[in-house]
Structure 1
Amino acid sequence: MSRVDLSKVIVHATLVKLLFHQRTDRGMTLIAEQSRCVRAGEIHELLTTDQDGLAAGSRLDRVGFLGFVEVCNAGVLDVGDTVTCGDVRLGVVAGFDACHFPNHYNIVLRAERLVTAGDLALPVGRRIEFQQGTLSAETGHLR
Protein backbone atom coordinates (compact mmCIF):
# COMPACT_ATOMS: atom_id res chain seq x y z
CA MET A 1 0.00 0.00 0.00
CA SER A 2 1.41 3.41 -0.91
CA ARG A 3 0.98 6.46 1.29
CA VAL A 4 -1.37 7.84 -1.39
CA ASP A 5 -3.79 4.99 -0.54
CA LEU A 6 -4.01 5.99 3.13
CA SER A 7 -7.17 7.67 4.37
CA LYS A 8 -5.69 8.47 7.79
CA VAL A 9 -2.34 9.31 9.34
CA ILE A 10 0.02 6.64 10.59
CA VAL A 11 0.02 6.72 14.39
CA HIS A 12 3.52 6.56 15.86
CA ALA A 13 4.21 5.48 19.42
CA THR A 14 7.28 4.76 21.55
CA LEU A 15 7.75 1.78 23.87
CA VAL A 16 8.09 3.21 27.38
CA LYS A 17 7.81 0.03 29.49
CA LEU A 18 8.33 -3.59 28.50
CA LEU A 19 6.28 -6.53 29.76
CA PHE A 20 7.37 -10.17 29.70
CA HIS A 21 4.49 -12.36 30.85
CA GLN A 22 1.69 -14.39 29.28
CA ARG A 23 -1.72 -15.46 30.56
CA THR A 24 -4.17 -18.09 29.37
CA ASP A 25 -6.94 -17.05 31.79
CA ARG A 26 -6.96 -13.23 31.56
CA GLY A 27 -10.74 -12.75 31.21
CA MET A 28 -10.73 -9.45 29.30
CA THR A 29 -13.75 -8.39 27.24
CA LEU A 30 -13.38 -6.63 23.90
CA ILE A 31 -15.46 -3.45 23.78
CA ALA A 32 -18.07 -2.85 21.06
CA GLU A 33 -16.24 0.11 19.53
CA GLN A 34 -14.04 -0.75 16.56
CA SER A 35 -11.90 2.39 16.74
CA ARG A 36 -10.31 4.61 19.38
CA CYS A 37 -9.07 8.16 19.00
CA VAL A 38 -5.68 8.71 20.61
CA ARG A 39 -3.84 11.90 21.54
CA ALA A 40 -0.15 12.66 21.62
CA GLY A 41 1.24 11.86 25.05
CA GLU A 42 -1.32 9.19 25.98
CA ILE A 43 -0.05 5.87 27.33
CA HIS A 44 -1.70 2.59 26.25
CA GLU A 45 -0.87 -1.11 26.69
CA LEU A 46 -0.10 -3.49 23.81
CA LEU A 47 -1.08 -7.15 24.07
CA THR A 48 -0.85 -10.04 21.63
CA THR A 49 -3.26 -12.93 21.25
CA ASP A 50 -3.49 -16.05 19.12
CA GLN A 51 -7.09 -16.64 20.20
CA ASP A 52 -9.48 -17.25 17.28
CA GLY A 53 -13.00 -15.94 16.75
CA LEU A 54 -12.63 -12.56 18.44
CA ALA A 55 -15.36 -9.94 18.00
CA ALA A 56 -16.91 -7.17 20.06
CA GLY A 57 -17.98 -8.62 23.41
CA SER A 58 -15.65 -11.64 23.15
CA ARG A 59 -13.94 -12.92 26.26
CA LEU A 60 -10.17 -12.82 25.77
CA ASP A 61 -8.08 -15.24 27.81
CA ARG A 62 -4.90 -15.91 25.80
CA VAL A 63 -2.64 -12.84 25.96
CA GLY A 64 1.05 -12.04 25.69
CA PHE A 65 2.09 -8.69 27.12
CA LEU A 66 4.37 -6.47 25.02
CA GLY A 67 4.37 -3.30 27.08
CA PHE A 68 3.19 0.27 27.30
CA VAL A 69 3.53 2.81 24.50
CA GLU A 70 3.39 6.59 24.49
CA VAL A 71 1.48 7.95 21.51
CA CYS A 72 3.59 10.46 19.55
CA ASN A 73 0.88 11.95 17.30
CA ALA A 74 -2.90 12.15 17.44
CA GLY A 75 -4.86 9.78 15.24
CA VAL A 76 -7.40 6.99 15.07
CA LEU A 77 -6.66 3.31 15.76
CA ASP A 78 -9.00 0.88 14.00
CA VAL A 79 -9.60 -2.84 14.20
CA GLY A 80 -7.65 -4.20 11.23
CA ASP A 81 -4.72 -1.77 11.49
CA THR A 82 -1.29 -3.34 11.05
CA VAL A 83 1.15 -2.75 13.93
CA THR A 84 4.90 -2.89 13.34
CA CYS A 85 8.13 -2.26 15.20
CA GLY A 86 10.79 -1.57 12.59
CA ASP A 87 10.66 -4.51 10.18
CA VAL A 88 8.82 -6.74 12.67
CA ARG A 89 5.07 -7.13 12.25
CA LEU A 90 3.64 -7.33 15.78
CA GLY A 91 0.10 -8.11 14.63
CA VAL A 92 -3.20 -6.64 13.54
CA VAL A 93 -5.47 -4.68 15.89
CA ALA A 94 -8.19 -7.17 16.94
CA GLY A 95 -9.97 -4.89 19.39
CA PHE A 96 -9.74 -2.91 22.58
CA ASP A 97 -10.30 -3.70 26.26
CA ALA A 98 -11.26 -0.89 28.64
CA CYS A 99 -10.83 -2.59 32.03
CA HIS A 100 -8.19 0.00 33.06
CA PHE A 101 -9.80 3.02 31.37
CA PRO A 102 -9.52 5.99 31.90
CA ASN A 103 -5.93 5.19 32.85
CA HIS A 104 -5.26 3.38 29.57
CA TYR A 105 -6.73 1.07 26.93
CA ASN A 106 -5.46 -2.42 26.27
CA ILE A 107 -4.85 -2.59 22.51
CA VAL A 108 -5.19 -6.24 21.49
CA LEU A 109 -3.12 -7.42 18.52
CA ARG A 110 -3.93 -10.65 16.69
CA ALA A 111 -0.62 -12.45 16.12
CA GLU A 112 0.46 -15.87 14.86
CA ARG A 113 1.42 -16.84 18.43
CA LEU A 114 1.49 -15.34 21.90
CA VAL A 115 4.58 -13.18 22.21
CA THR A 116 5.99 -10.82 24.83
CA ALA A 117 8.60 -8.06 24.64
CA GLY A 118 11.21 -10.65 25.63
CA ASP A 119 10.27 -13.04 22.83
CA LEU A 120 10.80 -10.25 20.29
CA ALA A 121 13.80 -8.65 22.05
CA LEU A 122 12.04 -5.28 21.96
CA PRO A 123 14.05 -2.44 23.52
CA VAL A 124 12.61 0.49 25.48
CA GLY A 125 12.43 3.56 23.27
CA ARG A 126 11.67 1.62 20.09
CA ARG A 127 9.19 3.19 17.64
CA ILE A 128 5.86 1.43 16.98
CA GLU A 129 3.63 2.24 13.97
CA PHE A 130 -0.11 1.71 13.58
CA GLN A 131 -0.88 1.71 9.85
CA GLN A 132 -4.20 1.45 8.10
CA GLY A 133 -5.10 -2.15 7.27
CA THR A 134 -5.42 -3.24 3.66
CA LEU A 135 -8.32 -5.10 2.09
CA SER A 136 -7.75 -8.58 0.74
CA ALA A 137 -8.73 -8.76 -2.95
CA GLU A 138 -9.90 -12.35 -2.43
CA THR A 139 -12.11 -11.92 0.65
CA GLY A 140 -12.76 -8.19 0.96
CA HIS A 141 -11.67 -8.41 4.62
CA LEU A 142 -8.96 -6.36 6.30
CA ARG A 143 -5.61 -8.08 6.64
Structure 2
Amino acid sequence: MVEDGEKRAVGGRVVKVLVHRRDDRGMSLEPFASRCVRRGEVHELVTTDHEDTAAGARIDRVAFLGFVEIVNAGVIDRGDEVWCDGEFVGSVLGFDACHHPNHYNILITSPTPRTGPELGLRPEMDVLFSPAVVAVPAR
Protein backbone atom coordinates (compact mmCIF):
# COMPACT_ATOMS: atom_id res chain seq x y z
CA MET A 1 0.00 0.00 0.00
CA VAL A 2 1.30 3.43 -0.93
CA GLU A 3 1.17 5.65 2.13
CA ASP A 4 2.19 9.01 0.68
CA GLY A 5 1.08 11.04 -2.30
CA GLU A 6 3.10 13.47 -4.36
CA LYS A 7 4.70 16.50 -2.72
CA ARG A 8 6.81 19.47 -3.64
CA ALA A 9 10.49 19.75 -2.82
CA VAL A 10 11.56 21.87 0.14
CA GLY A 11 14.22 24.46 -0.59
CA GLY A 12 16.63 26.16 1.74
CA ARG A 13 19.80 28.22 1.96
CA VAL A 14 22.89 27.72 4.08
CA VAL A 15 23.11 30.37 6.81
CA LYS A 16 26.09 28.96 8.75
CA VAL A 17 28.71 26.37 7.83
CA LEU A 18 29.79 23.92 10.52
CA VAL A 19 33.22 22.28 10.64
CA HIS A 20 33.22 19.69 13.42
CA ARG A 21 32.59 15.97 13.79
CA ARG A 22 31.98 13.56 16.67
CA ASP A 23 32.17 9.80 17.21
CA ASP A 24 30.24 9.93 20.49
CA ARG A 25 27.41 12.43 19.81
CA GLY A 26 24.58 10.35 21.27
CA MET A 27 21.75 11.76 19.19
CA SER A 28 18.46 9.88 19.39
CA LEU A 29 16.32 9.23 16.33
CA GLU A 30 12.78 10.56 16.68
CA PRO A 31 9.96 8.08 16.01
CA PHE A 32 8.56 10.31 13.25
CA ALA A 33 9.27 9.59 9.58
CA SER A 34 8.44 13.16 8.56
CA ARG A 35 8.42 16.69 9.90
CA CYS A 36 6.66 19.78 8.59
CA VAL A 37 8.88 22.81 8.17
CA ARG A 38 7.88 26.46 7.83
CA ARG A 39 9.39 29.14 5.67
CA GLY A 40 12.01 31.03 7.67
CA GLU A 41 12.76 28.22 10.14
CA VAL A 42 16.40 27.30 10.64
CA HIS A 43 17.44 23.65 11.05
CA GLU A 44 20.78 21.88 11.38
CA LEU A 45 22.06 19.39 8.80
CA VAL A 46 24.12 16.48 10.13
CA THR A 47 25.63 13.63 8.10
CA THR A 48 26.08 10.12 9.49
CA ASP A 49 26.89 6.65 8.24
CA HIS A 50 24.27 5.12 10.57
CA GLU A 51 21.35 3.49 8.77
CA ASP A 52 19.10 2.27 11.61
CA THR A 53 15.71 4.03 11.44
CA ALA A 54 14.25 2.53 14.64
CA ALA A 55 12.76 5.05 17.05
CA GLY A 56 15.34 5.95 19.67
CA ALA A 57 18.29 4.58 17.66
CA ARG A 58 21.51 6.10 18.99
CA ILE A 59 23.44 8.15 16.43
CA ASP A 60 27.09 8.65 17.41
CA ARG A 61 29.25 9.04 14.26
CA VAL A 62 28.32 12.43 12.83
CA ALA A 63 29.77 15.32 10.86
CA PHE A 64 28.04 18.68 10.90
CA LEU A 65 27.24 20.44 7.62
CA GLY A 66 25.61 23.63 8.81
CA PHE A 67 22.39 25.47 9.49
CA VAL A 68 19.83 25.94 6.73
CA GLU A 69 17.00 28.47 6.48
CA ILE A 70 13.86 26.97 4.94
CA VAL A 71 12.80 28.96 1.85
CA ASN A 72 9.42 27.30 1.23
CA ALA A 73 7.22 25.43 3.68
CA GLY A 74 6.70 21.74 3.15
CA VAL A 75 7.23 18.25 4.49
CA ILE A 76 10.63 16.60 4.85
CA ASP A 77 10.35 12.80 4.82
CA ARG A 78 12.74 10.03 5.74
CA GLY A 79 14.32 8.95 2.46
CA ASP A 80 14.18 12.39 0.80
CA GLU A 81 17.29 13.17 -1.20
CA VAL A 82 19.39 16.09 0.03
CA TRP A 83 21.19 18.22 -2.54
CA CYS A 84 23.58 21.12 -1.85
CA ASP A 85 24.29 23.38 -4.81
CA GLY A 86 23.30 20.54 -7.15
CA GLU A 87 25.52 17.91 -5.47
CA PHE A 88 23.86 14.85 -3.95
CA VAL A 89 24.73 14.67 -0.24
CA GLY A 90 22.66 11.71 0.94
CA SER A 91 19.18 10.74 2.09
CA VAL A 92 17.24 11.90 5.13
CA LEU A 93 17.64 9.24 7.84
CA GLY A 94 15.40 11.02 10.30
CA PHE A 95 15.33 13.71 12.95
CA ASP A 96 16.88 14.37 16.35
CA ALA A 97 15.00 16.82 18.57
CA CYS A 98 17.55 17.46 21.33
CA HIS A 99 17.47 21.21 20.53
CA HIS A 100 13.77 21.45 19.65
CA PRO A 101 11.87 23.80 19.62
CA ASN A 102 14.88 25.91 18.62
CA HIS A 103 15.67 23.60 15.69
CA TYR A 104 15.72 20.00 14.52
CA ASN A 105 18.86 18.12 13.63
CA ILE A 106 18.06 16.67 10.21
CA LEU A 107 20.14 13.51 9.97
CA ILE A 108 21.41 12.61 6.51
CA THR A 109 22.82 9.18 5.83
CA SER A 110 25.86 8.97 3.57
CA PRO A 111 28.67 6.41 3.20
CA THR A 112 31.11 8.80 4.91
CA PRO A 113 30.04 11.58 7.30
CA ARG A 114 31.27 14.89 5.86
CA THR A 115 31.46 18.41 7.29
CA GLY A 116 30.39 21.63 5.59
CA PRO A 117 33.88 22.54 4.32
CA GLU A 118 34.42 18.97 3.08
CA LEU A 119 31.39 19.51 0.82
CA GLY A 120 32.44 23.04 -0.11
CA LEU A 121 29.43 24.62 1.61
CA ARG A 122 29.26 28.37 1.98
CA PRO A 123 26.59 30.83 3.15
CA GLU A 124 23.66 31.38 0.74
CA MET A 125 24.29 28.07 -1.05
CA ASP A 126 21.06 26.37 -2.16
CA VAL A 127 19.87 23.22 -0.39
CA LEU A 128 17.07 21.01 -1.72
CA PHE A 129 15.12 18.26 0.02
CA SER A 130 13.70 16.35 -2.93
CA PRO A 131 11.29 13.39 -2.85
CA ALA A 132 13.19 10.18 -3.53
CA VAL A 133 12.43 8.70 -6.91
CA VAL A 134 10.85 5.32 -6.29
CA ALA A 135 10.25 2.93 -9.15
CA VAL A 136 6.62 1.82 -9.30
CA PRO A 137 6.20 -1.74 -10.54
CA ALA A 138 4.36 -2.12 -13.85
CA ARG A 139 0.91 -3.67 -13.66
Which amino acid in 2 is paired with 1:102?
Answer: P
User: What is aligned with 1:22?
Assistant: 21
**Residue type of the partner of 1:122?**
L
The residue type equivalent to 2:99 in the other structure is H
Q: Kindly provide the CA deviation profile for residues 48-87 of structure 1, in whole angstroms up to 9, marking residues without a partner as x.
A: 0012334221000010000000000000000000000123
How far apart are 1:90 and its partner, in Å? 1.1
Q: Does 1:42 align with 2:33?
A: no
**Structure 2: 5+ residue stretches without partners:** none
CA displacement 1:21-46 (0-9 Å, x = unmatched): 11000001000011000000000000
| Structure 2 match to 1:70 | 69
- Whether the aligned pair in 1 keeps the contact of 2:49 and 2:111 (CA below 8 Å) is yes
Aligned position for 2:134:
135
Pairs within 5 Å for 1:1-143? 7-135=6-134
Secondary structure of 1:36 counterpart:
strand
Contact 1:56–1:95 under 8 Å retained in 2: no
Matched-pair contact (CA < 8 Å) for 1:86–1:127:
yes
Give the CA deviation at 1:117. Answer: 0.5
**Aligned residues with identical type, % of pairs:** 49
TM-score under structure 1 normalisation?
A: 0.88
- Runs of 4+ in structure 1 over 4 Å off: none
Residue identity in the other structure for 2:129:
F
SS at match of 1:104: coil
TM-score by length of 2: 0.91
How far apart, CA to CA, are the structure 2 residues paired with 1:107 and 1:85? 14
After superposition, the CA RMSD in angstroms is 1.5
1:86-130 Cα offsets, whole Å, 9 max, x none, are 231111000000000000000000011010011111111100000
Aligned length: 133
CA distance in 1, matches of 2:100, 2:79: 22
Cα distance in 1 between the residues matched to 2:55 and 2:130: 21
